[in-house]
Amino acid sequence: MGGSQANNREIILGILLEVAEHGAYSHIAIRNALEKYQFLEKQERSFITRVCQGTLERMITIDYMISQFSKVRLGKMHPTVRCILRSSVYELKYMDAIPAAATCNEAVKLAQKKGLGSLKGFVNGVLRNIARNLDSVALPGREDPWQYLSVAYSMPLWILELWAKSYSQEQIEGFLEAFLTKTPTSIRVNRMRAGKEELRQELAAEGIKAADAVGLPDALWIEGYDYLGKIPAFLDGKFYVQDLSSMQAALWAAPKEGDFVIDACAAPGGKSLHAAELMRGTGLVEARDLTPYKVSLIQENAKRCHMQNVRPMVADARVLDEGRIGKADIVIADLPCSGLGALGKRPDLKYKMTPEMCRELSLLQREILQTVQQYVKPGGTLVYSTCTINPAENEENVAWFLKLHPHFTLEKQEQILPGDMAGEGFFLAKLSSQPKG
């Protein structure tokens, strides 16, 4: 390993400290670091991304391993040492191409560089012990299936217990497998800017592979790129990065040319842009979100995709906008949720979320639905969606809503499970407001 890799490990340490110790979101911390170090080679960038994401994805498994070889409990360790050990164990266990000796040496050097020279013997001892005994580390037995799944797949026990109320053990293990299965990036072709084949050829000329995503006419899987900001077709708004299951929201809403659409919690804007495109640039999509920062993300994406019929605006979805009562043909309510369907892309969420937070989110969703349903005109459509697998935030909220608002009819609802579309877990419900008279 050259000095450059050692610097990469220092970047990894910085990201993990931000996420695991200071509560930053992993996708933001990784993106910010890669933007800061844009001069890095493609290989270095993917090494940093893989070790950070992998360490967070596998943290319960890694901690279980460390605790078998360390006399010091994880909670008592210096945060920097804890992060160095975690990322090093990830390399030892999951990255065969890196020699164990190199991983151990670089970890010791990094501890010293961070002013923890007195702990380098401890770091060295724990890592070399784990490296020697990698194949003999035993996971909990399957006689306690939930404890086994929790450690084997790094999933907090309470989430498994929540899912166990609705799904079989076999189904749940399928979710866990799907979260840990790496898939290419899914993109949606912006038909206002490019045809699918034209885009595929343009990407191929950049050395980027693009394959059809089954079941969705405008979706492609892409791989082999360095980062999005370097792809001319991305900068020119010819495609938008979006999960396959999330593409369903605008398709279910089925806006017609000239419609007025309100997207209540729109950032970063994928569903708003999709609806705007389905209307062929006609009508208007009011893309609302809570903060100027979130709305700036929508503005950035709408500008990049050349969507003139999207109007980004700052608005609190809980506060009624009297001027919009009964005006919208379609309201898209993709609401803040626990994100338990998106743990493949956002692994840190599983450690941040709690049962109490899930309860609070389900109440927030009800509060927002109570407000935004008022914007739907008679004969109009409300699409409610979340990226979670939690009946309290999904089916139970829909049942509660229908009891309270009998003039709405449930057209259809679906819980997409992780791996179903090679995408994340996602819930959708389409509700129609009955025309008057």
Q: For residue range 100-125, what is the model confidence (pLDDT) as tens digits?
A: 999 999 999 999 999 999 999 999 99
Q: Which residues pair with 262 in a beta bridge?
A: 286, 331
Q: Are 427 and 388 in contact (CB under 8 A)?
A: yes
Least confident of 20-29, 124-133, 395-404: 20-29
Q: With a cut of 70, say whether residue 218 has pLDDT above it.
A: yes
Q: Among residues of the chain, what percentage have pLDDT more than 90?
A: 87
pLDDT of residue 381: 98
Kindly state the DSSP code that residue 315 receives in the 8-state scheme: -
Query: 210 - beta bridge partners?
Result: 222
Mean pLDDT of the chain: 95
Average pLDDT over residues 274-284: 97
Q: What is the pLDDT of residue 254?
A: 98
Confidence of residue 83 (pLDDT cuts 50, 70, 90): very high
Distance CA 352, CA 355 (A): 10
Mean pLDDT of 261-275: 98
SS3 content of the chain, % helix, strand, coil (to 5): 50, 15, 35
Contact 277, 348 (CB under 8 A): no
pLDDT for 421: 73
Confidence of residue 5 (pLDDT cuts 50, 70, 90): low
Q: Give all strands (DSSP E) within 136-271, no chain letters.
A: 185-189, 209-212, 219-223, 239-241, 260-263
Tokens of 133: 């005994």
pLDDT the model gives residue 417: 95
Q: What percent of the chain has pLDDT over 70?
A: 98
Q: Which residues pair with 212 in a beta bridge?
A: 220
For the residues 8-18, what does the mean pLDDT come to? 96
164-173, 299-308, 315-324, 418-427: which has the minimum mean pLDDT?
Answer: 418-427
Question: Which tops the pLDDT comparison, 231 or 136?
Answer: 231
Closest CA to 344 of 231, 434, 425: 425
pLDDT tier at 437, thresholds 50, 70, 90: low
Q: What b/e sequence results for 252-261 when a residue is b if at least 16 CB atoms lie within 10 Å of its CB, and e otherwise? A: bbebeeebbb
pLDDT of residue 104: 96
**In terms of DSSP bridges, do strands 219-223 and 209-212 run parallel, antiparallel, or are they unpaired?**
antiparallel
CA neighbor of 266 nearest in space, from 303, 299, 218 = 299
- Catalytic residue positions? 387
pLDDT confidence tier of residue 350, bands split at 50, 70 and 90: very high
Distances (CA, A) of 185 to 53, 182, 350: 15, 9, 22
In angstroms, the first-to-last Cα distance of the chain is 75
Whether the per-residue pLDDT at 2 is higher than 50: the answer is: no
**Within 13 Å of residue 188, how many CA atoms lie on the same side as its CB?**
26
Instruction: Look at strands 310-314 and 284-289 and give their pairing.
Output: parallel
pLDDT at 219 over 50: yes
The pLDDT of residue 393 is above 80: yes
Q: Round the CA-based radius of gyration of the chain to a whole number and report it.
A: 24
Q: Could you tell me the strand order of the sheet in which 239-241 lies?
A: 209-212, 219-223, 185-189, 239-241
List beta partners, residue 333.
Answer: 384
- Structure confidence at residue 3 as a pLDDT band (50, 70, 90): very low
User: Residue 313: CB partners within 8 Å, gap ≥ 6?
Assistant: 286, 287, 288, 295
Helices and strands (H and E) in the chain: how many: 19, 11
Q: With contact defined as beta carbons under 8 Å apart, do 129 and 118 qualify?
A: no
**What is the pLDDT averaged over residues 368-375?**
98
